Amino acid sequence: MNPFPTLALCAFGLLASACQVKPYTPPPRPVTVTSVDIETNEFHGRPEAWATIRGHLSTSAAQFAGAKQSREGRHIRIEMLERTPRGAELAPDLVDSPYFERRIPIDVIGLDAGPCTLSVNEFETVFQLPDLTGNETSS
């Protein structure tokens, strides 16, 4: 018996399955931010800050892909991302983009009291870190 046809058939099957088009998820993109409210508190002698971020997703099928936070000096950036799966069915009766509201902690560890700038996607606001020593700070 010749094993060649069986091996050829197995090799063809592996090659065919490897060449199939596989679905992929497009890269994440920024959500639309309409407002940001900042809340500052004291936690065990350290300042803490939270951002309540409001806005809209681009489609009814969009899902949050996460938030990335970075800081350069007193300028803090939060990138809010969404992802819409390839081939997703959109709700036909949805007139407006879905509204969202997320509360995210802001990394203020190591910052002294005073003004800070927060950018969330294209939305920018300034907030004041409190002085927990009781001294006055200048803006």
Q: What confidence tens digit (pLDDT) does each residue in 82-133 have?
A: 998 877 766 655 556 789 999 999 999 999 999 999 999 999 999 999 887 7
Residue 30 in this model has a pLDDT that exceeds 70 = yes
Q: What is the pLDDT of residues 47-83, one digit of tens each?
A: 899 999 999 998 888 889 989 999 999 999 999 999 9
Mean pLDDT value across residues 5-19: 56
Residue 26 or 71, more confident? 71
pLDDT for 19: 53
Please name every residue paired with 125 in a beta bridge, in sequence order, or none if there are none: 118
Q: What is the model's pLDDT at position 84?
A: 83
pLDDT at residue 27 is higher than 80: yes
Cα–Cα distance list, 91 to 2, 13, 94, 95, 98 (Å)? 56, 38, 6, 9, 11
Segment 21-25 mean pLDDT: 59
**b/e string for 6-42 if b means 16 or more Cβ within 10 A?**
eeeeeeeeeeeeeeeeeeeeeebeebbbeebebebee
Report pLDDT for 90.
67
